[in-house]
Structures are given as structure tokens and as C-alpha cells.
A and B are shown apart, each in its own frame.
Chain A
């Protein structure tokens, strides 16, 4: 398939691996920021192909994983109301709240629907003027433009039966939180390709300079990831710390100006809680005042719901790159994709789920 096969080319990949082996002199710890990158790394077995002196730790970039428990409980409370049609991206449906997941809420009679684009909610709202259509607006900067567009269009079209439950998070403050931590081991980042396709990479230049850490904005296919690793290793070996752009076919320094404009006209930056990590200042979006009428938390008065997370789960440490999924005692035993205890086991992009699905709890290799 065009634009795909060339980035999964075995010869190119082997060439990059050879170059990484040649240029690497010291051991390095790199973090891939995005869940999509983690997924590819494990799916294609990239971490097993890299020299063992290069350790990849998995970053906090899975939007499903970092959505706080409290917000999921609020989603369940809203979805359970008879007048509500609750719309969500597919993989949010299996995220465990403190009692169950949205699939179970659905099995009890709630009207929960998977949508592929937030804008589908407009159609649903027009079709059911007597019902309340609520969209679970989660994600990083990548999904923010489409979610913002939903709210903007709902206001334009006077669709009063639309609202959004917002849990938007932002990458740069999370990277700063990781780098600020006394336990930090990360020496270089494979930056979030899709986030930067929207936002550009100006924000990352400041982080590079402040923490003297290389950030290579990287794509999601095997050849992208290997090239990203090579560029990061090269910077580390040469003592450089810059923002470099591996993902040139999608990312520019300024990003997508139109998308940024709609985001900033609908959302404003606020503090957000991250599941497993806790609150991080300036790390999320909330609706601007002029759009607050579309805030589902207000409309359905669920602001009082407060919840605690499972004490067994180490997803916070996994998200910060301090621990690996199989360091957890519950991994693969009490905690599986069918019965996730914590966020990182839930989404197929979560580090624990990726490890479980691709069998990293038992190391075996194909016909060595």
C-alpha cells in the first residue's frame, strides 16, 4: 500500500539498524512519547531488534490511558441517564471506571454509541431533538481540532441538545513533568508526530534548551521509528540537544494553523489530572467561557463525583517511564485486557496492553 509499504521496508529497516549499531558508543534511554509509537514498536518487534544498550521506555501519550478515573465515573453517570445518547471513540468503551466500563453500562440499557468523528454527533443530535447527545471529548492536541469543531458547529447551528465531556491533555507539560522528576531516566525523546502535525514543534524547542535533551519528532511506521532512534542517538553521541523533525511528510514547525485557530477559539489551557500521574498545571484544555453552555459536567451536575484509583496498579510509574509493564505483580494475572485494573492495560495503545497483546510477559523469538 502506497505511503505505508515503503515505511515497512525490511531492507531500509535493516540498514537503519546497522547504522544505529555503528554510531552508538554508549548506552542510552529513549522515551517514545505516543501510544501509537509504542504500539508499532511492539507490533513490529522493533525493541528486540535494537542493540540492547538502547532502552526504549514508553511515554504517557495514550489519551485513553491518562483519562482520570473520576472523569470516567462521570461519563458513566451521564451515560446512564435515560435522555442521554452517549457518544465516544471506540476504545474508551472498555476503560474501567471504579465500578465497571461503558460496555457494561451499555449492557444495562444505556444508549452508548461509537463514533468515528466527533462531528457525527451533530447528525445524531438533529435526528433526536428530544434527546441529549453527549460526546466524550478526550485526547491530546491531535483530537482537539475535531472536538473543538463539534462545539463550534453546535453553537453556530443552535443545537442545544449537544454537549461535551472534556478531558483534553497536552504533551509539553507532561514531558516537563517527566524531566522534572528526581527519578527521571529519559535521556532523549521520540516526539509525538501526530500532535506536532497539529501544533508544530516550536513549543518543544524551549524544553530542549531548558533540560538539554534531544527531541526528535517521529512518525509511526517502523522505518520512521528506527530513523527517529538513529537521529536521537546521533545527537546524544555528539552532545547535541535540539528539536529535529524526522516526520517531515506530516509535520512543519508552525503546524496546522487553521486547526490551531479553531482549538484556541473554543478551548483554553487549564490544569488537568492525569490518571496514574496526578495533577499537572497547564496540562489540559477546558471550554472557553463563551462555550461553557456545552460543558456536559455542568449540564448534568456531575461535578461532585470524586474517586480514588486502584492501589495495586503501577500505571502511573509506567506512564512516567519509571517502570515497565511486567514489573507489575498484577500484570497478566489480575490485570488483563479483558479485566484491566489500570489505564495502561485498557487501550490497545496503552503500554501494558501492547506488552500483553504481543506476548512480552514471556520472551520467545521466532526461529532464531
Chain B
């Protein structure tokens, strides 16, 4: 039994007989947290392992005849499809634009595949598509190819969209989750948790005081501005599912470094903070769709931060902590009252607490 457990914890050696602990897929496997990692490490990686995939970034950077190309894909299955601050169409374009931008690439082309549920109102599809057109124009990307399928009523949820994107790296930068170095500064582009709480409050019919809107936005121009300030940007991630806590843990693990955050410096809107308090959720684990986390060389941090603050999507940017050599793979947070705690990877779906 002990041996078996030991083996299960060493995903790299499982090939060719993948083992997952669940006999069925549960929703938590899509949460972006520990269960998603399990799925990747125990099922997908053993089958498809190659040097590009093994970097486990949100995009792959490919060398093709002297050009460096960023390539990514992402599926969108949000309920409800229209929510305060956006809709599934805008999300699908921005999400893929952002995955490309997080490598330092300039997003250029997008493909979109639609899975439509029988009975979807045509007007709703028109709204979603119009919103995608607008988002693509905003991010200066062209939607160049696509596909459509329709499934029986009850076999889908109105509309699922998969977008695939292609971008060009015009600068000689290597921005990847394994590039963080001790001494680097951790920058955050603005207040966290807006998207996740906007969706949750709309989905569950919860009414909170104060506006709560998704922050969905294309981050390509913000990244371009940051790279103009300095190319000493080591890691970039957009903290979507699993939130800031999850991306910082991923960077810490991939780079074999520790991190120390100042809990007081992490911006959270009052309305989001209140909703999280009521539901017993931690904003650090809640999804964002228009924010980024950057790990930047210390000598470049001020210049990058100033440039972020001059950009409309980085007005509230701040430094939230530092990369350290001590306690590799662990992210520590200094709490408001001066104590400390470890910020761990999220397990499954965040569940509201009973009381």
C-alpha cells in the first residue's frame, strides 16, 4: 500500500500505465487546481510528452524557419453565457489573446470552433459573435478559420467555444514559468477576483452591494508596453482559474524558487472582498480574465511598474512580493496582523463554506 502510494505521487514514472485516483471525472478536474494538474500529469503528459509540452506554459513557443511563433488553444464553457462585464464570446477571444501575450508574443490570428446546443436562440449567437468581432478588433487579431457543430438539446450548455491563437515573438525574450530567479519582484496588474465573483453572483442569483463586473480584457498592449520598459521580464501569467495563488505556485514549482508576498499589498475591490467573506472564499483563488502577474528582474521592476501604471489596464498595478531562494516551491504570505501562512495550490472547485 505504501509503495503504491509512493508510486502514485511520482507522475513522471507512470508511463505507459496512467493512474488517476478518481474513477470518474469530477468537476474539480476542470478547476485549474491540484486535480487539473493531476489530470495533466497522469493522463495527458505521459501520452504526449515532448519538449514544448513539458514546459507547461499556457502557450508553446515554436521555432519555424527563423521565426518564433506562439501557439495556444483554450475552451470556454461559462454559465451564464452573458454576464456583467462581458459574455462568452469576448472571453473566448480575450482568453486566447492573453495566453499568447503571456509569452511576450504579438497576437495575430485566431481560429474558433463552436459547439452549439439545439434550441439556442439565434439572437444569442448573433450577440456572442458580434462581441467576438469587437474583441478581435480591439486586440488587432484576425479570425481566419473556424468550425461549427450542433449537438442535441441537453448534450451541451447553449454554446461552447474553442479558440486557437497564433502570435509572433518580435523580441528575443524567453518568458516562461521556469525563469523566475531569487531577488525578482512579483508584480500584479490590478485588483483580483472580479471575474470569478461576477460569474458566481450572477450564476447563483446572489445580490451583493456595489458593482461586480468581469474584468475580461485583452492584455497584449499592456504586455507590449511592459516589454518596451524592459525585456528583463522573466515570467508572465494571467491568473484565470485557480487565481493568483495557483499561478504563483506553478511558477515557484517550475522555477524551483520560493516566494514571499505581502498580504496587505494585494488589491481586492471592496465588493469582491465582501462577497468572498460571505461565501468563505479566498480572493487569491478566484478567477481573473484581465489581470496579469509578472516576475521581473529587480533592477527593471520600477521601470516596468511605472509603465504598467501608465496603461489603462494597469492603473492599480503594484509589487506584491519577491522571489526568494529559501523554501523552494513554497509561496508564503505575510498576513495583515504580521503572522505568516503558506499559500497552497487549490485542490478542486472552491466550495462555499457552511458558516
Contact = CB atoms under 8 A, between A and B. Distances in A.
Contacts of A142: 355
Interface stretch (B79-87, B225-233, B331-339): B331-339
A276 to B, nearest CB: 18
A42 B26 contact: no
B335 A43 contact: yes
A114 B206 CA distance: 13
Nearest to A92: B354
B355 A90 contact: no
Contact of B353 (A8, A44, A140, A348): A348
Nearest to A365: B340
Q: Which residue, of A4, A356, A357, has the highest number of chain B Cβ atoms within 10 A?
A: A357
A364 B332 contact: yes
B341 A49 contact: no
A366 interface: yes
Interface string A324-363: 0000000001101111000000011100000011110010
B103 to A, nearest CB: 30
B338 A359 contact: no
B339 A90 contact: no
Given A63-B354, A116-B204, A94 B348 contact: yes
B34 interface: yes
B270 interface: yes
Contacts of B21: 338-339
Contacts of A333: 5
Interface in A287-317: none
Q: Interface size for chain A: under 10, 10 to 19, 20 to 34, or 35 or more residues?
A: 35 or more
Interface string A75-118: 00000000000000111111000000001101110000010100
A358 B353 contact: no
Contacts of B168: none
B348 A366 contact: no
Given A107-B26, A366-B332, A194 B341 contact: no
Contacts, number: 136
Q: Which residue, of B24, B35, B337, has the highest number of chain A Cβ atoms within 10 A?
A: B337
B324 to A, nearest CB: 8
Interface in B283-334: 324, 326-327, 330, 332-334
Contacts of B270: 1
B126 interface: no
B330 A364 contact: yes
A333 B28 CA distance: 20
A13 B330 contact: no
B337 A64 contact: no
A222 B353 contact: no
Interface in A3-17: 4, 8-10, 13-14
A204 to B, nearest CB: 19
Given A1-B273, A13-B338, A338 B348 contact: yes
Contact of A357 (B35, B326, B344): B344
A90 B23 CA distance: 22
Given A356-B344, A358-B344, A364-B332, A90 B353 contact: yes
B280 interface: yes
Given A4-B277, A63-B355, A103 B339 contact: no
A43 B352 contact: no
A334 B353 contact: no
Contacts of A214: none
Contact of B28 (A103, A116, A364): A103
Given A10-B338, A107-B27, A364 B354 contact: no
A162 to B, nearest CB: 19
A36 B337 contact: no
A51 interface: no
Contacts of B333: 366
B22 interface: yes
Contacts of A139: 354-355
Contacts of A1: 270, 273-274, 277
B34 A348 contact: no
A236 to B, nearest CB: 23
A296 to B, nearest CB: 18
Given A13-B338, A44-B341, A358-B341, A36 B355 contact: yes
B120 interface: no
Given A194-B355, A223-B337, A367-B324, 20 more contacts: A9-B336, A10-B337, A10-B338, A44-B336, A45-B341, A89-B353, A90-B354, A91-B351, A114-B352, A116-B204, A116-B206, A116-B279, A143-B354, A222-B337, A334-B5, A339-B21, A364-B326, A364-B342, A366-B333, A366-B334
10 contacts: A4-B277, A9-B337, A42-B341, A43-B341, A45-B339, A338-B21, A348-B280, A359-B332, A364-B342, A367-B260
Interface of B: 5, 21-28, 34-35, 38, 204, 206, 260, 270, 273-274, 277, 279-280, 324, 326-327, 330, 332-342, 344, 347-348, 351-355
